[in-house]
Structure 1
């Protein structure tokens, strides 16, 4: 197994190769919820790019397809790990928060102290949010007004931190798009928007489920990768691994141990996707889902993907599992023009044609 072999196995596990089911699905995903469910959660702080992250894994879908899934509640957006917004499914919402919220809460303690945010205040606002978001949802402005009406200050960034605090308590999630908006979502009361009871969740079972789901959908990956993705300690990930016996296999590459779904072990000898050409959004799981990204992104090109190293990931082009360039769309709304910037020499005519076709597929996705 070589680094590029690892990358190609990840392409398959993440549902990025046409005809190959993501993770442990029996057939390729046919809905946005199946795409996201197979990965557990997907980076979604940039909503537009997150929609394409789902769309590129769901051939024939459109932006409207993803928005419809948000509108019907089969797909939700919430703070899922590392203080970052994620797409996930209703079934995974409670287990994810049970596993990841304590660490996020701890990481935000200093900010809350600075802003004078107390647990008593959060509890009060959780009740206010449940009421305000329970009948058809609320816009961000309406939610913040409900907080203000409850006696809380919402000036500066304090309002944002209050929203995150209530979300981490599981009280609200982001659901349908705001009427007339293609960029903003309504906040929905969790107990009315997500059916089913979650009070009896076992923390140990939830940890094992989330850890197993990561390795099945992102593997081959290391314990360090999983800890980064979930925002957990290495010890917690290792504890979760102990309960995954039989479900996962492993391979050693360069002295590191990589775990993956046992049902994918047959791919070790000849990983699929050698001729694949894919254009991905910024912040896509294929790159951002790992602490170490060298299997896909060569060190000399890191600056081209994350210019300034300020946390922004540009859209990327991948061929055979390797990151070979960036891309974008310019022009006008009526006449969008795709372009790509290769790393090194211009690609062959056939690869350039394939890249152009993939970018055109994105433009069509956005039109629909």
Structure 2
């Protein structure tokens, strides 16, 4: 399989090509997990795949079918609520292996961390199951815990990592937290660890394939051995892409064919974040501009037929959204006008484009 065919498959699997009417919960379930450390980014990731407005997407996240938490890589993802417990137990728990050293840095210990969980559980229960972040920190402070510096954030993370709490949709501009068991409408538990690995592999490769073993391992924070166990249990097919072994679902190969288009994607979209090796989507020089200084902060991208063509930034006003573009290759900006208008429509604002 050549690079062009592989990119076409990825565009279909990433739900960018051949967009249909989709629900928020359906998109999240298809991916299994979507990078969501930056809330505005993941909301537009959903918008570009569903055609729904920002208001409609936020309303859908209140239906409790999806939730934000720290299931893998020590960063926030949007995942199906029903899968939160088993994902935290399978991949999230890996982030707890070094927690003692982090406690030492912050002046915390297991007793304080457990007290924080008790205080949060009591405060959330008294508040009807949901509190803004400031309310959670106030409950810890009232319970005698110093939340200065990174201590408060770490304790909120720890409670979520232990499956006590999770991040709910914002109240205005402020993050809110809920008791995870209260938020989950129905809980799913795989029959075994092997079954959980296979399910995670199936979801990753159906939404990101063709991709490498190391892409899957990096996405999940699993070791390579567990990644291969998951692939073996998922019934995937190996394909050769320019001499590299990649994996894809048999169903994706049945629908293989050219796919292209123009997209305006947020910086933390799975299009980039979902892979360790991003050479199919951008050159090394382009990647250095997408992630300046390799600092983990991804710029928003203009994508043409699966390849990065440029960067874009928005300035949000009360009456319009202004977008500035930086070209990384030569193209006619009018090619991206429908995609940019789609973003403005998602916000419900008129569009102003600043020519590069």
TM-score, normalised via structure 1 length: 0.89
The correspondence for 2:270, drawn from 271, 285, 297, is 285
The answer to whether the aligner puts 1:116 opposite 2:116 as a matched pair is: no
Structure 1 residue 309: deviation in Å? 1.8
Partner of 1:70: 61
- Show the counterpart of 1:98: 89
Contact 1:6 1:220 in 2 (8 A): yes
3-state SS in 2 of match to 1:57: helix
Residue 40 of structure 2 corresponds to 48
Q: Which runs of 5+ in 1 are unaligned?
A: 20-27
1:226 CA displacement:
0.5
| 1:355 lines up with 2:346 in the alignment | no
Q: Where does residue 145 of structure 1 map in the other structure?
A: 138
Q: Tell me whether 191-200 or 124-133 shows the greater mean CA deviation.
A: 191-200
Shift of 1:333: 3.0
Instruction: Quote the Cα distance in structure 1 between the aligned partners of 2:299 and 2:155.
Output: 30
* Separation (CA, whole Å) in 1 of partners of 2:48 and 2:190: 36
| 1:254 is aligned to 2:242 | yes
Matched, 1:85 2:76: yes
Match of 2:294 among 303, 309, 322: 309
Aligned residue among 101, 119, 125 for 1:128: 119
Q: Distance in 1 between matches of 2:98 and 2:201?
A: 21
Q: 1:259-270, aligned counterparts within 5 Å? A: 259-268=247-256, 270=257
Query: 1:109, CA displacement in angstroms?
Result: 3.8
User: In 2, Cα distance between the equivalents of 1:280 and 1:110?
Assistant: 37
Contact 1:95 1:210 in 2 (8 A): no
How far did residue 29 of structure 1 move?
A: 5.3
Q: 1:253 to 1:185 in 2, by over 3 A?
A: same
Asked if 1:164 corresponds to 2:157, the answer is yes
Deviations 1:34-79 (A, max 9, x none): 11111001011110111001110012x1111221122221221111
| Distance change >3 Å, CA 102–CA 7, structure 1 → 2 | same
- Following superposition, the deviation at residue 154 of structure 1 comes to 0.8
Q: Pick from 176, 180, 197 the counterpart of residue 186 of structure 1.
A: 176
Displacement, 1:252?
1.2
1:6 & 1:120 partners in 2: Cα distance?
51
TM score, norm. by length of structure 2: 0.91
Task: Write out the 4+ residue segments of structure 1 that deviate beyond 6 Å after TM superposition.
Answer: none
**Partner Cα distance (2:95, 2:21) in 1:** 31
Provide Cα deviations, 1:196-255, integer angstroms capped at 9, x if missing partner.
45678632222221122111111111110001101111111112222223xx21201233
Any idea what SS the aligned residue of 2:15 has? coil
2:31–2:204 Cα contact (<8 Å) kept: yes
Q: Provide the alpha-carbon RMSD of the alignment.
A: 1.9
Shift of 1:121: 2.9
SS at match of 1:138: strand
